Structure 1
Amino acid sequence: MAVARSLRRNTTITYFLAALLLLTFLYFFLVDSTSLPSLPQSRQLLKSKDAASNPLSPPSLPFKKQDPNEVPPPPPVVHYRMNNVTTSSQPIENRESVLILTPLAKFYSQYWDNLLALSYPHDLISLGFIIPKGREGNEATRQLQDRITKTQAPSNKKHRFASITILRQDDEPPTAQSESERHALSHQKVRRAAMSRARNSLLFTTLGPTTSWVLWLDADVIETPPSLIQDLASHDKPIIVPNCMQRYWNKDKGAEDVRPYDFNSWQDSPTALGLAEKMGPDEILLEGYAEMATYRSLMAYMGEPTGDAKKIVDLDGVGGTALLVKAEVHRDGAMFPPFPFYHLIETEGFAKMARRLGWKSFGLPNFYVYHYNE
């Protein structure tokens, strides 16, 4: 039986289109990837000589100011292979970049001295600060900039950091900044909500596509091991926190002593979960206050005088005095809720949010950092 002319024509077109489609697939699957233009790696982007020439350049690069009479070049188009950004137990060997973020209301010279003493390669470290406005904030900014000027001097190659970002907040702190007033129970919800917003602003502004780790380090943490970053990263955990203590003069002993400081790193308890079930949607649970007994297991009291510094425990809440986070956890959406999130707020709410996203938190009860004592 003869085939109609129109049917033969349609069959020919079909074969032609199928062959064209097959060739297209073969081209994309078999093309040599080495022929593609090379993309910048994280270690390349962190070199100080690669300072950005335009304010719209990637946030992982320090911005170099231009002469006002000079016409700036157009913003660059930069490609990133995110699979090249690793987070491993050997961050120095893999040249993994670290972003140290600090909400700063008062400048302590011991904090900066401790920062300079960190043994992690400084060319892999970027710093970010957020400072409130007002008289104290202005003074803290002045003192910080004085130290930055000396540290980032061209002659100071040993201590110079890859980049430094300073943000100024639009408002002043909601409460006074003395230690006793900061920790009063009545101030906690407002204070910690404001702190959450500051942390989020700092994070979202400074987190770059080449960042591997984010170290949250409070401005009043003045003593850590020089190997703090690599020691924490060696556990290869998404979220990990050391035990924050405070040195003080013990009148009973007549000698220097150490006491727990940060009570926000804990394992949950049936009592705390029961309290949360009875709370209204805008109420929060707070740790470390006699008026709100939760009977959680606090990492602050898990430390052993001669214990193994590498001992690790699971946590449900974390403090933010010194907190190492894989950057992918933040990229996944975990931030610091300034609102009650499962009746938790700020760093404790962050741990809960990260857990809901599939990331667990861990603590090192025998690995210590020390808080300033006013």
Structure 2
Amino acid sequence: MARPLRRSSPITLILALVLFLGFIIFILSPSNPVPSIPKSKIASSSSTRTSPNSPPPVVHYYLNNLTTSSDPVGNRERVLVLTPVARFYDEYWQNLLKLSYPRDLIELGFIVPKTREGNTALAKLEDAVRRVQTGSKKHRFLGVTIIRQDFDTPVPQNEKERHALSAQKERREAMSRARNSLLYTTLGTETAWVLWLDADIIETPHTLIQDLASHDKAVIVPNCYQRYTDKGKEKTRPYDFNSWHDSETALAMARKMGSDEIILEGYHEMATYRSLMAYEMTEGGDPHLETELDGVGGTALLVKAEVHRDGAMFPPFPFYNLIETEGFAKMARRLGHQPYGLPNYLVYHYNE
């Protein structure tokens, strides 16, 4: 006869339930639980944020306190020297180092194209900058920025090809983009003046910045010439024809143009009959003689930083049928900043 089943004891049931619950908890628990952060660490982090040595969360800049005066050295006004670099000319660099403006008030900015020639220029530029910035502290510049173009250079960079009329629109559109990229990357809150100085300007007065700033003009440009040899004799000739006074002929030409067309100066195929500052130089004339301009060149161009902050840039598109530096002059005038030129104050371009 079979034995009757015995009832389980309460203790056995409790143990079975505990084991079952333990198994369920084990299955559902994460394999790598995140440890809690000790309170001491939290307190330490909080005290660091409120430390008196930490920078404030918001920095205020009062741009109205910036001065751009006729005495930039005396007023300790910072100058940003900007140069698009397709080729590196040692004469440019040596001339830059001879400028007498205090280096602790000068920041440098360069933009270099992504080409084989640009790679060579970049290597030479970086070497030149390194020698200065790792040398004596009193000879170092306040800062140096070098950037690379994020777009292709459209035409070869030898002098004949880059100055051909057919290449001008595409070339100057690219140059405008390069200038704007460089400007908006480097323009700081303490910048008072911007000096645009082309990489092939190899000779200027050592007091270039002080001389131009002494006129206290929003936009001012010297006359750019070129030294050359003719039959064994040293001579000079005008180089930059983008600084001009407008003419009725050019204005009438613009009225007949489409919105996407541009007027280019210095080409016989496009006679504008403008009055060019290049031909207004008087031998032995007053270097501080001023003249109002409608267009400016960019070989050496001093601009009050407020002009750029107001929105004047180098249009990479036809702006009143003008482009690049000439378009910049038009834009500056539309914003109420009259450009000026110095016909008898000369800087010199490299002669290829």
Structure 2 length as normaliser, TM-score? 0.83
Whole-Å Cα distance in 1 between the matches of residues 140 and 305 of structure 2?
Answer: 23
> Could you say if the C-alpha distance between residues 76 and 164 of structure 1 is closer, same or farther in structure 2, counting changes exceeding 3 Å?
farther
Give 2:174's match in structure 1, choosing from 178, 191, 194: 194
Indicate yes or no: 2:272 matched with 1:294: yes
Offset at residue 79 of structure 1 (A): 1.7
Determine the C-alpha separation between the residues in 1 that align with 2:333 and 2:57. Answer: 37
User: Please, which of 272, 285, 307 is the counterpart of residue 307 of structure 1?
Assistant: 285
Structure 1 CA distance for aligned equivalents of residues 106 and 212 of structure 2: 15
1:322 aligns with 2:300: yes
User: Residue 153 of structure 2 corresponds to which residue in structure 1?
Assistant: 173
Larger Rg: 2
Work out whether residues 337 and 350 of structure 1, in 8 Å CA contact, stay in contact via their aligned partners in 2.
yes
1: distance between equivalents of 2:119 and 2:152? 11
Task: Tell me how far apart the structure 1 counterparts of residues 182 and 56 of structure 2 sit (CA, whole Å).
Answer: 23
- Which residue pairs with 1:150 in the alignment? 131
Identity of aligned residues (%): 71
Distance 2:207 2:99 in 1: 6
SS in 2 for 1:244: strand
Aligned partner of 2:51 in structure 1 is none
1:128 aligns with 2:103: no
Q: Does 1:115 align with 2:93?
A: no
CA distance in 1, matches of 2:157, 2:188: 31
Q: 1:139 to 1:75 in 2, by over 3 A?
A: farther
1:95 to 49, 52, 76: 76
TM-score (norm 1): 0.79
Q: How many residues align?
A: 299
Q: Distance in 2 between matches of 1:207 and 1:75?
A: 23
Corresponding position of 1:263: 241
Is 1:203 the counterpart of 2:186 in the alignment? no
Provide runs of 4+ in structure 1 moved above 6 Å.
Answer: 73-76
Partners of 1:173 and 1:112 lie apart in 2 by 23
Q: Distance in 2 between matches of 1:295 and 1:343?
A: 16
In the TM superposition, 1:6-17 aligns within 5 A as none
What's the counterpart of residue 20 of structure 2?
none
User: What letter matches 2:108 in structure 1?
Assistant: L
CA distance 1:326–1:134, change in 2 (3 Å): same
Q: Which runs of 5+ in 2 are unaligned?
A: 1-53
Matches of 1:76 and 1:286 in 2, distance apart? 50
The structure-2 alpha-carbon separation of the partners of 1:135 and 1:157, relative to structure 1 and needing over 3 Å to count, comes to same
Paired residues of 1:116 and 1:159 also in contact (CA < 8 A): no
Tell me, in whole angstroms, the C-alpha distance in 2 between the residues paired with 1:148 and 1:239: 28
Which of residues 194, 199, 214 is equivalent to 1:219? 199
Deviations 1:147-195 (A, max 9, x none): 0110001x42342100000010123310000011110000000000000
**Mapped partners of 2:57, 2:249: distance in 1:** 55
Query: CA separation in 2, counterparts of 1:137 and 1:89?
Result: 37
Question: Per-residue CA shift, 1:40-60, capped at 9, x if unaligned?
Answer: xxxxxxxxxxxxxxxxxxxxx
Could you tell me which of 218, 228, 240 is aligned with 2:220?
A: 240
Offset at residue 80 of structure 1 (A): 1.2
Question: Given that residues 238 and 361 in structure 1 are in contact (C-alpha distance below 8 angstroms), is that contact kept between their aligned partners in structure 2?
Answer: yes
Distance 1:129 1:315 in 2: 27
1:224-283 C-alpha deviation (Å, 9 max, x unpaired): 0000000000000000000000000123xx301000000000000001001101111111
Unaligned runs of 5+ in 1: 1-72
Does structure 1 residue 163 correspond to structure 2 residue 133? no
CA distance in 1, matches of 2:222, 2:102: 21
Structure 1 position 76, deviation (Å): 6.2
Mapped partners of 1:171, 1:210: distance in 2:
29
Alignment of 1:332 onto 2:310: yes
- Deviation of the 1:75 alpha carbon: 9.3
**How many angstroms apart in 2 are the aligned matches of 1:271 and 1:98?**
38
Root-mean-square deviation over aligned CA pairs? 1.2
Mapped partners of 1:138, 1:75: distance in 2: 41
Deviation at 1:134, TM superposition (A): 1.8
SS at match of 2:139: coil
Q: What is aligned with 2:62?
A: 81
Question: Are 1:275 and 2:256 counterparts?
Answer: no
The residue identity in structure 1 corresponding to 2:89 is: Y
Please state whether the residue corresponding to 1:343 is helix, strand or coil. coil
Determine helix, strand or coil for the equivalent of 1:258: strand
